[in-house]
Chain A
Amino acid sequence: MSATTAASAAANKTVKTLELDEIVVRFVGDSGDGMQLAGTQMTNTSAVFGNDVATLPDFPAEIRAPAGSLAGVSGFQINFSSHDIRTPGDQVNCLVAMNPAGLKSNIADLEPGGILLVNEDAFNKVNLQKAGYAANPLDDGSLKGFRLFRVPLDKLTTEANKGSSLTSRALGRCRNFTALGLVYWMFNRPLDETLRWIDAKFGKKPEVAEANRNALKTGYYFGETCETFIENYKVPKARITPGRYRKLTGNEALAIGLVTAARLAGKDVFYGTYPITPASDILHQLSTYKNFGVLTFQAEDEIAAMTSVIGAAFAGAIAVTGTSGPGIALKAEGIGLAVCTELPVIIINVQRGGPSTGLPTKTEQADLLQAVCGRNGECPVAVLAPNTPADCFNMAIEACRIAIEYMTPVMLLSDGYLANGAEPWRIPDEKSLPHLKVTHPAQKNGESEFLPYKRDAKLARPWALPGTPGLEHRIGGLEKEDVTGHVSYDPENHEHMVKTRAAKIAGIAKSLPKLEVLGSPQGGDLLVIGWGSTYGAITTAVERCRAQGMDVSSVHLRYLNPFQQDLGDVLKRFKRVLCPEMNLGQLSKLLRAEFLVDVKSLSKVQGKPFMVRDIVTAIESMMKGNNGR
């Protein structure tokens, strides 16, 4: 069945369908309630339907925190629209709360008059108490500012499966699909996509598949028939660039990007890593690509992960390690060795809240200075940052390009928001992808010997592979003489090598594209500058402010070391510069140091991405200050 036929079959009551541009729905419940699954299904369905989508999963670090507790609340927010969107949305239009704890910790984000669907079966004394409610909020009038719909999700799910051989506990686990079915009715989503998924997922357990199908349909029919629902909504397809699309999270895009880069370079991926949230999904994904020649190595620790990658690069692989901030701290010495041996390795940091173990499942951008400066000695590496989940694909390829061309470690800074957030990805034409040229010498480059540190025009040294006769050589972490690579403690040579390594990284800038300024490239009152995952919020905020006539522009950095060559010029064309970051001002510090520009920092360090309105407010305040001068 499809939504269209279901809607036309709606009898006995008149349902008004309103058309909207954009809807933000958030599912919240216990971490065992299947909220991530419901959200993912809603995302897939909306994407396949043709909307643009952006998502924000939000889950606790504990796998199963005590049921019903505030600490155990897991959420998934999805924004789907008929136009191009870049964020999961500031305000929630429809909140689906599976229990009192979910309601309590999320109600503040629901817009006034917003739709509130609650599982009234879960609002019992015990759950209310666990959530810290003295009285039942469904009855005490505290929710009167919202359109509250009390739905007996447990009862509906059980009744839909009368006669099922499943235990009541197993049936209970289907209630997320009952809720999803109702949401599908509410927003005119077709059921086909999720029904197909259920069949594929539970093909071997027909009774589980049946129960989930029943739950989904029951939720849908409940919307259709229950008299309290007299209005639903539709969001037309978005006008997006034609092509074949697929939904990707940032971690998926990284994995696919790495395999693609290896193919483009005619090589295989070696991924050495140690499990850590929120980076582990990259390992999971890559370990399914064995028929692409991908070797995954789950090392004994972060240090082994890093150093195994150095060995793999020496042996000729596209060598990659992935981790989060605490892992980078452990890898620092190994990164230093990769800098000194000048081997091409990719280091992915899916940043999370710090310091120390910090907030394992929450997003942050506080590892920028660690990436740029966090090693002993003068130890430069290239640092890149994708700006959307799908951009992780592009930047994975770009990281490989730079690593190979310049024989250097490259750090790729993703974050929890990009890693788990999803968006449609237009599948690229293979011909449009860059060719990554790799050369391994077969002949000596000196008169009678091989010179491992004889450099090319880009200051890169040759990548000679073991097994090549006549090119036997030794590399290591001791300072070496330029050209020959022999161990050298000579003072002049050391300074020369330090400067050469720095110049090599700085020289990467020559290969980078020009900055794209959104707004007024010629300059103006205010430039908003950001990096990485804040792209969506910043761009949306700047577009809104420009629509109101403000002279504000933005530029977004995907290259943090080195910066693009025209960055200094761009900064100087604006009277004021605002830099929103999910840290205490790390990029602004670098910009001030590098360009002597009075950058104003806008900080948010809550484990949550910026809202568009956070940035709009800051822009408005800056503009007032400017006008007041």
Chain B
Amino acid sequence: MSQALTQLTAKDFASDQETRWCPGCGDYSILAQVKKVLPTLDTPREKFVFVSGIGCSSRFPYYVNTYGIHSIHGRAPAVATGVKMVRPDLSVWVITGDGDALSIGGNHLLHAIRRNIDLKIVLFNNRIYGLTKGQYSPTSEMGKKTKSTPMGSVDFPLHPISVAIGAEATFVARSVDVHVKHLEDVLVRAARHKGTAFVEVYQNCNIFNDLAFEYAAGKDTRDDHTVILEHGKPLIFGKNRDKGIRLNGTAPEIVQLGGDIKEDDLLFHDERAPEPTLAYLLSRMHHPEFPEPLGVFRAVQRPTYEALANQQIATARAQHGEGTLEALFDDGETWVVN
């Protein structure tokens, strides 16, 4: 029997498996927020499917008591695509990491996003390979010294939000593992979006890349180094909310509010802009030069892949009638031998 939705709580989504992330890992917080969000989505527990690839984050499905597939490295978006196409009624989530999604699985991520298939993709970005014990990842900063790069890495990093926007994402957002309330809100928005929802979560790996996002996570630093995006509102940040982002030509700049500069002079966020130009510009604001935007960068509507694919089946049935074996066999030229 399906449990009455109103009765479900985070506890109902806890599996009987012992969680095996390192103590202090940012993954715990993300798991807790997801378990808090799921009961609020008016979806029965049996209709959730969590699909992951390989990496620390990808152990996630074992820790939620829903249907789940812990698949292979980088392929979760493709596995999830198969599930969602066959069963559009299911709520399908992809849990992935920076290596899983952007290195070995980069191709699948791009194509899932461009198809706008209704998957909730949550990318835990810790800018390091954790499960293989500390090699640099495609989001590691240039010059990163790790076990595999003792003299520093020599490749330029990818920025997940920019990648997603470049792949024509209809929903793109960012949050931080320890910003409990913000993360919860972003996950709810993602869950309610119809189409691919891409969420980057800054996640601390306290073993191999501790404090990588401390500027965005730390209570003392985060107000000055992040800016919360709100649709229709100006970009204001700082402990005293006295700084803002203004456009200078096509480039953002930090300005001090007060004096000549008013709120109306600032850049106003528009997550629904049909063109992704603004969202992309925001995705290029990096620490330490800029406060890094958190929240929903882009949220637009476009038909979903699974809906269009299944609509073609409905159309074909309406045009030609439900296929029968007789019609299948007798199609084309046939002849009778007596």
Bind each other: yes
* Residues of A near any B CB (own CB < 8 A): 44, 47-48, 50, 193, 237, 240-247, 256, 259-260, 263, 268, 270, 272, 289-295, 297, 299-301, 303-305, 307-317, 319, 333-334, 336-337, 341, 427-428, 430, 433, 449, 466-478, 486-487
B86 engages A295 (CB within 8 Å): yes
A430 engages B336 (CB within 8 Å): no
Residues of chain A lying within 8 A (CB to CB) of residue B1: 469-470
Q: How far is the CB of A348 from chain B (nearest CB, A)?
A: 16
Please name 27 pairs of A and B residues whose Cβ atoms are closer than 8 Å in the assembled complex, sorted by A: A240-B337, A242-B338, A243-B336, A256-B328, A270-B85, A291-B316, A291-B320, A300-B78, A303-B75, A303-B108, A307-B79, A308-B78, A308-B85, A310-B69, A311-B82, A311-B83, A314-B49, A314-B67, A314-B82, A315-B82, A316-B87, A333-B72, A336-B72, A430-B325, A467-B67, A467-B87, A474-B15
| A466-B67 contact, Cβ under 8 Å, with A243-B337, A244-B335 | yes
* Residues of B near any A CB (own CB < 8 A): 1-3, 15-17, 44-47, 49-51, 54, 61-62, 65-72, 75, 77-87, 89-90, 107-108, 110-111, 309-310, 312-313, 315-317, 319-323, 325-326, 328-338
Residues of chain A lying within 8 A (CB to CB) of residue B81: 297, 299, 304, 308, 311
A469 engages B2 (CB within 8 Å): yes
Q: How far is the CB of A512 from chain B (nearest CB, A)?
A: 25
Q: Say which residue of B47, B80, B323, B334 sits within 8 Å of A311 (CB atoms).
A: B80
User: CA of A91 to CA of B284 in the docked complex: distance in angstroms?
Assistant: 69
B87 engages A263 (CB within 8 Å): no
Residues of chain B lying within 8 A (CB to CB) of residue A334: 72, 75
B78 engages A289 (CB within 8 Å): no
Q: How far is the CB of B314 from chain A (nearest CB, A)?
A: 9
Residues of chain B lying within 8 A (CB to CB) of residue A427: 329-330, 334
- Given A341-B69, A478-B70, 13 new contacts (CB under 8 A): A243-B336, A270-B82, A290-B313, A290-B316, A293-B313, A294-B313, A304-B107, A308-B85, A314-B82, A317-B86, A471-B46, A472-B66, A474-B68
B68 engages A475 (CB within 8 Å): yes
Residues of chain B lying within 8 A (CB to CB) of residue A294: 313
Main secondary structure of the interface of A (DSSP, over half): mixed
Closest to A260 in B: B325
User: CA of A535 to CA of B325 in the docked complex: distance in angstroms?
Assistant: 28
Residues of chain B lying within 8 A (CB to CB) of residue A290: 312-313, 315-317
A475 engages B69 (CB within 8 Å): yes
Residues of chain A lying within 8 A (CB to CB) of residue B71: 307, 310, 337, 476-477
A472 engages B67 (CB within 8 Å): yes
Q: How far is the CB of A605 from chain B (nearest CB, A)?
A: 33
Closest to A50 in B: B337
Closest to A259 in B: B328
B78 engages A311 (CB within 8 Å): yes
Residues of chain B lying within 8 A (CB to CB) of residue A237: 337
Residues of chain B lying within 8 A (CB to CB) of residue A47: 335
User: CA of A595 to CA of B303 in the docked complex: distance in angstroms?
Assistant: 58
B323 engages A307 (CB within 8 Å): no
Closest to B61 in A: A474
Q: How far is the CB of B12 from chain A (nearest CB, A)?
A: 10
| A291-B107 contact, Cβ under 8 Å, with A193-B333, A477-B70 | no
B107 engages A301 (CB within 8 Å): yes
Residues of chain A lying within 8 A (CB to CB) of residue B50: 474
| A246-B83 contact, Cβ under 8 Å, with A304-B111, A310-B71 | no
Residues of chain B lying within 8 A (CB to CB) of residue A50: 335, 337
A307 engages B82 (CB within 8 Å): yes
Residues of chain B lying within 8 A (CB to CB) of residue A316: 86-87
User: CA of A476 to CA of B17 in the docked complex: distance in angstroms?
Assistant: 14
Residues of chain A lying within 8 A (CB to CB) of residue B331: 246
Residues of chain B lying within 8 A (CB to CB) of residue A247: 332-333
User: CA of A473 to CA of B17 in the docked complex: distance in angstroms?
Assistant: 11
B72 engages A319 (CB within 8 Å): no
B325 engages A263 (CB within 8 Å): yes
User: CA of A466 to CA of B86 in the docked complex: distance in angstroms?
Assistant: 11
| A300-B107 contact, Cβ under 8 Å, with A270-B85, A470-B46 | yes
Q: Say which residue of B79, B108, B312, B325 sits within 8 Å of A310 (CB atoms).
A: B79
Residues of chain A lying within 8 A (CB to CB) of residue B78: 299-300, 303-305, 307-308, 311
Identify the 9 closest CB pairs spanning chains A and B, nearest first.
A311-B82, A476-B70, A292-B323, A290-B316, A308-B82, A312-B82, A304-B78, A474-B68, A466-B67
Closest to B16 in A: A449
User: CA of A263 to CA of B49 in the docked complex: distance in angstroms?
Assistant: 27
Residues of chain A lying within 8 A (CB to CB) of residue B330: 244, 246, 427
Q: How far is the CB of A175 from chain B (nearest CB, A)?
A: 24
A472 engages B45 (CB within 8 Å): yes
Q: How far is the CB of A307 from chain B (nearest CB, A)?
A: 4
User: CA of A477 to CA of B55 in the docked complex: distance in angstroms?
Assistant: 12
User: CA of A259 to CA of B70 in the docked complex: distance in angstroms?
Assistant: 30
Q: How far is the CB of B77 from chain A (nearest CB, A)?
A: 8
Residues of chain A lying within 8 A (CB to CB) of residue B85: 270, 295, 297, 308, 312
Counting chain A CB atoms within 10 Å of each CB, the highest count among B16, B44, B67, B68 belongs to B67
User: CA of A243 to CA of B62 in the docked complex: distance in angstroms?
Assistant: 55
Residues of chain B lying within 8 A (CB to CB) of residue A314: 49, 67, 69, 79, 82-83
Residues of chain A lying within 8 A (CB to CB) of residue B84: 311
Closest to B77 in A: A304
Q: How far is the CB of A357 from chain B (nearest CB, A)?
A: 20
A473 engages B67 (CB within 8 Å): yes
| A246-B334 contact, Cβ under 8 Å, with A295-B86, A300-B108, A474-B61 | yes
Closest to A466 in B: B67
User: CA of A303 to CA of B320 in the docked complex: distance in angstroms?
Assistant: 33
User: CA of A179 to CA of B317 in the docked complex: distance in angstroms?
Assistant: 41
B70 engages A48 (CB within 8 Å): no
Residues of chain B lying within 8 A (CB to CB) of residue A468: 46
B108 engages A466 (CB within 8 Å): no
Q: How far is the CB of B250 from chain A (nearest CB, A)?
A: 32
User: CA of A333 to CA of B104 in the docked complex: distance in angstroms?
Assistant: 13
A469 engages B3 (CB within 8 Å): yes
B90 engages A241 (CB within 8 Å): no
B328 engages A466 (CB within 8 Å): no
| A291-B44 contact, Cβ under 8 Å, with A242-B337, A300-B108, A311-B69 | no
| A476-B61 contact, Cβ under 8 Å, with A304-B81, A308-B81 | yes
Counting chain B CB atoms within 10 Å of each CB, the highest count among A47, A290, A297, A475 belongs to A290
User: CA of A337 to CA of B80 in the docked complex: distance in angstroms?
Assistant: 14
B316 engages A260 (CB within 8 Å): no
A291 engages B83 (CB within 8 Å): no
Counting chain A CB atoms within 10 Å of each CB, the highest count among B62, B69, B81, B330 belongs to B69
User: CA of A294 to CA of B3 in the docked complex: distance in angstroms?
Assistant: 33
User: CA of A301 to CA of B77 in the docked complex: distance in angstroms?
Assistant: 12
Q: Say which residue of A259, A291, A487 sits within 8 Å of B313 (CB atoms).
A: A291
Closest to A430 in B: B325
A337 engages B67 (CB within 8 Å): no
Residues of chain B lying within 8 A (CB to CB) of residue A315: 82-83, 86-87, 90
Closest to A318 in B: B86
Residues of chain A lying within 8 A (CB to CB) of residue B309: 295, 297
Q: How far is the CB of A125 from chain B (nearest CB, A)?
A: 42
Q: How far is the CB of B49 from chain A (nearest CB, A)?
A: 5
Closest to A263 in B: B325
B79 engages A308 (CB within 8 Å): yes
